[in-house]
Chain A
Amino acid sequence: MPEYTPIPPASCVVVSGASRGLGLALATDALKRGARVAGFARTVTPELQALADAHPDDVHVAAVDANDSGAVAGFLRDAADRLGPLDALVNNAAVGQDSLHVHTSPERIGEIVQTNLTAPLLLTRAFLRRLTARGGRGRVVMVTSVCAQRGYAGLVAYSATKGGLDSAMRALAREMHGRVLVNSVAPGFFASEMSSVLGGEQLETITRRTPTGRLVEADDLTPIVGMLLFEDTNIHGQVLTVDGGSSI
C-alpha cells in the first residue's frame, strides 16, 4: 500500500465573491494564514482593493462576473501568472432570494440557478482542469447553506442551488479521489442579511429559536473554512453546518 502523504496546506487560494462580507473575511483569513489570494467579484470594493494594495505580491483581485466563464478563465490564468499555481478554491459567490416560488419570475429563477449553481460548477471545472493538468493536489470548499438541508419559505430556487452544490461536492470528492479535498461549509442565517429583510421582532424570534442564541457571523465561518484549506484533517466529501444549532 502506498504511503499516505497529506494534501499540503493551501498556498494560493481563489475566492469568488471576495469583495464583501464572508468572501472578504475568507480572503483576509487565508492571507493571514500565509497563503496568496486571488479574489474576484462583480465589483472590487474599496475594502478588497485595500487588501490588494497592502499585499501587492500576495493578492490578486479583479472585477469579474462569475457568470462570464471566459472572464473567469482569464482571471484564473492571470492569477496563476502573477501568484503561482492555484491549489485551493472557495466557491463563495451567490445571490440571495426572498420571494415565494409562485411569485418569483422564471427569469429570476434562471438567474439564481445560473449564479449559484452553474457558475460555481464551471469555476470549479476550470480550476480543477488547471490543477489536474499540472499534476497538482489541492482543496475545494463550497459555501452552501443550511437551506440545502431544511425547508425555508421564500428560498425555493436558492435552496435548490445550494443542495445541488452539496450534491456536486460529494460527487467531486469521489471523482478527485484523495488528490483534491472537496467539502462544503453550510452557514445558517447571517445576522446581517436577516436584519436587512426582517423586522426586529422576527429577528428576535429566530434568534431565540437558535440554541446558541446568536445568528451566524463571518467570523464563525473563517476557522472552519481555514481548517478545510490548511489543516490535515482527512475530512472529505462532507457538509459542515455552522448555524448555532438552529437546524438540529
Chain B
Amino acid sequence: MNTVSRDEVRSMMGDVLAAQGKPLPADELTPLVDIGFRSLDFSELALRVEDETGDELNFDAPGLRRIETVGDVLDFLEQLQSA
C-alpha cells in the first residue's frame, strides 16, 4: 500500500482547514477544539489520505474520540496507514 507521509498529511489537514477559512497552527499540541477541527473534518482528511493511498482506512469511533490535538490527528493517521 502507498503511504502518505506525516508532512503530507499535515499539508492536507491545512487544506481542510483552509477551505473553512481557518489556519493550521504550527504547534502540534494545539487542541482541536481550539481550531474547530471536528470529527467530520477528520473524516474528510482521512478520505483525502485514502484517495492518495488507494486503500480504505476504516476504524472504530473509540479511537477517534481519543484524538485531542493536531499531533494526535497526525499520529492516528500514521498508525492507520501502518496497521
Binding site for B on A (CB under 8 A): 98-100, 102-105, 108, 153-154, 197-199, 202
Contact = CB atoms under 8 A, between A and B. Distances in A.
B29 interface: no
B21 interface: no
A100 B61 contact: yes
Contacts, number: 30
Given A103-B46, A199-B65, A98 B60 contact: yes
Given A100-B43, A102-B47, A103-B43, A197 B61 contact: yes
Contact of B60 (A99, A153, A199, A202): A99
A102 B56 CA distance: 10
A190 B55 CA distance: 35
Interface string B49-61: 0000000111111
Contacts of A153: 39, 61
A235 B43 CA distance: 44
A99 B59 contact: yes
11 contacts: A98-B61, A98-B62, A100-B43, A100-B64, A103-B43, A103-B46, A103-B58, A104-B58, A105-B56, A108-B58, A154-B61
B45 to A, nearest CB: 11
Interface of B: 39, 43, 46-47, 56-62, 64-65
Contact of B58 (A105, A198, A199): A105
Nearest to B60: A99
Nearest to B56: A105
Contacts of A199: 65
B83 to A, nearest CB: 13
A38 B58 CA distance: 38
A98 B39 CA distance: 14
Nearest to A107: B58
Contacts of B64: 100
A102 B43 contact: yes
A60 to B, nearest CB: 36
Contacts of A202: 65
Most buried by B among A103, A104, A108, A153: A103
Nearest to B59: A103
Contacts of B39: 100, 153
Contact of A99 (B47, B56, B58): B58
B56 to A, nearest CB: 7
B76 to A, nearest CB: 12
B63 to A, nearest CB: 9
A50 B59 CA distance: 37
Nearest to A197: B62
Nearest to A102: B43
B60 to A, nearest CB: 5
A12 B61 CA distance: 40
Ranked 8 nearest A-B pairs via Cβ: A105-B58, A154-B61, A98-B61, A99-B60, A103-B58, A197-B62, A98-B60, A99-B61
